[in-house]
């Protein structure tokens, strides 16, 4: 095939014989090559709503993983606030990240022990945010 330019692509409708230049032949039950038909179009998804519903259906393991990730993120932000305060800074960057994470909606997890730990982490985050507001007001 020779590329001649950037013009539109034209399909080639020429029929090829069963035997190619290299001597290779395609054997079929009748001894002749079958003509290929046009490619069948794939059917699309009925609606985008169905895809969104599938994505929202989180199983218990996915909810647990998300809860653990959120709790870990809150703990990381609390640690960053602590380090910033120990270094003499105000920790405004860490506090804004902490505020953003604390404002995210928490999904329910069936594990009561994990819920209890997340409650404690969120309480500690709320205390640090309240202390930061008092420091700013003073």
Structure tokens at 44: 């699309």
pLDDT of residue 2: 67
pLDDT of residue 24: 60
Specify the residue for token string 């928490």: 106
What residue spans of 6-111 are helical by DSSP H?
A: 48-56, 60-86, 92-103
pLDDT of residue 136: 87
Quote the pTM value. 0.56
Task: Name the 3-class secondary structure at 19.
Answer: strand
Q: Give Cβ neighbours of residue 117 (< 8 Å, ≥ 6 apart).
A: 71
Angle 126-67-90 from CA coordinates, rounded to 5°: 35
For the chain, which ranges sit under pLDDT 70? Answer: 1-47, 49-58, 109
Structure tokens at 5: 């330019």
């Amino acid at each position: 095939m020779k590329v001649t330019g950037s013009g539109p692509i034209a399909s080639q409708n020429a029929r090829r014989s069963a035997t190619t230049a290299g001597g290779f032949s395609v054997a079929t039950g009748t001894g002749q090559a079958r003509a290929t038909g046009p490619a069948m179009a794939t059917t699309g998804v009925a609606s985008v709503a169905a895809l969104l519903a599938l994505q929202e259906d989180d199983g218990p393991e996915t909810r647990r993983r998300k809860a653990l990730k959120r709790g870990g993120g809150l703990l990381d932000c609390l640690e960053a606030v602590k380090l910033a305060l120990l270094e003499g800074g105000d920790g405004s960057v860490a506090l804004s990240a902490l505020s953003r994470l604390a404002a995210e909606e928490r999904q329910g997890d069936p594990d009561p022990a994990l819920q209890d730990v997340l409650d404690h982490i969120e309480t500690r985050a709320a205390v640090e945010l309240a202390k930061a507001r008092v420091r700013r007001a003073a």
